[in-house]
Structure 1
Amino acid sequence: MSTPKSHHLVYGTLKDYLTGEELIDTDDERIRQHISMLLVEKRGFAKENLIPRLTIETLFAQSFVTSKIDITILHNNKQALILRYGPGSLVSRERSAIAAARVLNPDYQIPFAVVTNGKDAELLDTRSGKILGYGLESIPYCDTLSTLVDNAVFSDPLTGVKKERELRILNAFDVERCCL
């Protein structure tokens, strides 16, 4: 089986800011690395509380999709917020981020999500689907997230039809499409 051609410019490799792992160097990956640095150096998160590149795999209608969660933030050893990066419009990424936060953890629903294109961001309440903040400044500081988490509900995990619905949303929104 041949490897599909990427539509991204590849500059070589780079060292992951959080893990030291060698990654393919693309424009998108450079933005992800910048976001990681922002979270540690400006927002006050410890590197060990930032988990990069978790995935959720789905298969519906003969379409296998691997959805990537760019960064998952831990608070008191609980996954409290997911961050998903993608170029372009944020509104088109809100629903899939909410779906991912609702199904990523098998023990509870993650209460917050951030969607960002590297220039703008939105902070989302994943229980209600409401936008809590706009702009890069809406990416919470460590102490702000602590306050948010103290008042948040970590809902029971979804099961059955409700879980399948969220997985279908992820599958539909995250299917790989060429952007050329």
Structure 2
Amino acid sequence: MLDTDRERIRQKMGPFLTEELGYRISDFQLDREILLEIDSRKVISLADLVVHIDGRFLMVIRGGPGSVVTRESGTIAIARLLEPDYIIPWAVQASLFEAALLDVRKKRAVAYGWDAIPSRSRLLKMTSDWPPPKLPEKRIPVERQILYSYDTHG
């Protein structure tokens, strides 16, 4: 295991999600990738954890050092891009000390703190209005540019 900020956040997040919030190990997909190519430069962006329950992707979780506020837009962008048929409606940007719960549809934070991360049962209630909208085609290059910018310069 690498000793990086991202890995330390993942090691904190796993037990918190399963032991305190009721998620199951089988609810998670790890390291979902998106290949971005801007001006012939290729970058792979990662969603650290994607919550997948009953065949639906419900929430993206990304970790990174520093302020979560500065990384919110990149996390929202990856949640809007991962699935071709719909935006993943919720996201969390976390550091070791703080977290932001992000409403991906509205593109904004709705709560801060590790206690803002929804439990499994709460997330299922939050996503009961299914399916979420599909990302409009014209927004795809914009969201890709946002994600590229945050993951290469942020």
Q: For 2:105 and 2:5, locate their aligned partners in 1 and report how far apart those are by CA, in whole Å.
A: 32
| Greater relative contact order (Cα < 8 A, sep 6+) | 2
- 2:139 corresponds in structure 1 to 162
Report if the CA contact (8 A) 2:58-2:90 is conserved. yes
C-alpha distance 28-109 of structure 1, shift in aligned 2 (>3 A): closer
Does residue 104 of structure 2 align to residue 121 of structure 1? no
Gaps (5+ residues) in structure 2? Answer: none
User: Cα deviations across residues 36-86 of structure 1 (Å, max 9, x unaligned)?
Assistant: 111111110110111111111101123321111010001322100000100
- Per the alignment, residue 52 of structure 1 pairs with 30
Instruction: Report the TM-score, using the length of structure 1 for normalisation.
Output: 0.80
Matched with 2:123 is: 145
Bigger radius of gyration: 1
Map of 1:11-26 to 2, 5 A cutoff? Answer: 13=1, 24-26=2-4
Correspondence for 1:75: 53
Alignment RMSD: 1.6
When you count helix as a share of all residues, which structure comes out higher? 2
Question: What number of residue pairs does the alignment pair up?
Answer: 154
The CA distance in 1 between the partners of 2:40 and 2:5, in whole Å, is: 30
Aligned with residue 73 of structure 2, among 95, 99, 102: 95
The CA distance in 1 between the partners of 2:38 and 2:5, in whole Å, is 30
Tell me what 1:172 maps to: 149
Q: Could you tell me which residue of structure 2 aligns to residue 131 of structure 1? A: 109
CA separation of 1:80/1:122 partners in 2, compared to 1, >3 Å: closer, same or farther? same
Contact 1:55 1:68 in 2 (8 A): yes
- DSSP-derived class of the 2:127 partner: helix
User: Segments of 4+ in structure 1 off by > 2 A?
Assistant: 24-28
Match of 2:62, SS?
Answer: strand
Gaps of 5+ in 1: 1-12, 14-23
